[in-house]
Amino acid sequence: MKLVQPIRDKETVVEVKRYLQERNQRNYLLFVVGIYTGLRVSDILSIKVSDIIQNKYLVIKESKTDKTNRIELHGELKRELLKSIKDKKEHEYIFQSRKGHNKPISRITAYRILKEAAQWVGLTEIGTHTMRKTFGYHLYNSTKDIATLQKLFNHSSPQHTLRYIGITQETLDDFRRKVHY
């Protein structure tokens, strides 16, 4: 299994956003939804215009857990979503593929979008979970509230959440750097 990391540096997050926005609004929006909601890519790709329009909350039935997740839309995210859906019909997917009629892009396409942007900014260990992990990593670092983050991610333990967002590995790396001979 490939190791996937969060984007730890906020300036790098901004660079990825800028890179994607300059090339394709849909791809930019995919990244922004991922880093502001913490949703899995499969759930992001299932979002339709009707899920956004006139709603303060995004209500998603998570495909992996079958649980309903209610997410208040962050101001910046809401603005970007409304801008992108203004000419779309309610039944349309937000992240439409160019293949077929009203079909979302595939997970593989989402991965390729992120991989290209990551290569441009010099990142490795990137995957579709990078967006979710980036959300968790920065939320944890700003709040230190592992219990709420664990609940948000539906993880079974705080240790699992810390490992998932890369805090455990980062702590181990910092610890090893303290050795001097």
The model's pLDDT over 126-160, given as tens digits with 9 standing for 90+, comes to: 999 999 999 999 999 999 999 999 999 999 999 99
Residue of 132, 133, 137, 140 with catalytic role: 132
101 is catalytic: no
Residue of 129, 133, 137, 140 with catalytic role: 129
pLDDT, residue 1, reads 56
Six-digit token pair at 174? Answer: 């910092």
Q: Tell me if 34 sits within 8 A of 44, measured CB to CB.
A: yes
Give me the amino acid identity at 180.
H
Give the mean pLDDT of 42-69. Answer: 90
Q: Which CATH architecture has domain 10-176?
A: Orthogonal Bundle (1.10)
Chain centroid to Cα 110, Å, comes to 11
91 is catalytic: no
Residue of 19, 48, 133, 155 with catalytic role: 155
40 is catalytic: yes
CB burial string 46-79: b at 16+ within 10 A, e below? bbbbebbeeeeebebeeeeeeeebebebeeebbe
Give the mean pLDDT of 39-67. Answer: 91
pTM: 0.91
pLDDT, residue 175, reads 82
Q: Tell me if 124 sits within 8 A of 118, measured CB to CB.
A: yes
129 is catalytic: yes
112 is catalytic: no
Give the mean pLDDT of 16-34. Answer: 97
Q: Name 76's Cβ contacts closer than 8 Å, sequence gap at least 6.
A: 32, 36
Q: Tell me if 153 sits within 8 A of 38, measured CB to CB.
A: yes
The residue ranges of every structural domain in the chain are 10-176
Residue of 64, 144, 176, 180 with catalytic role: 64
pLDDT, residue 2, reads 74
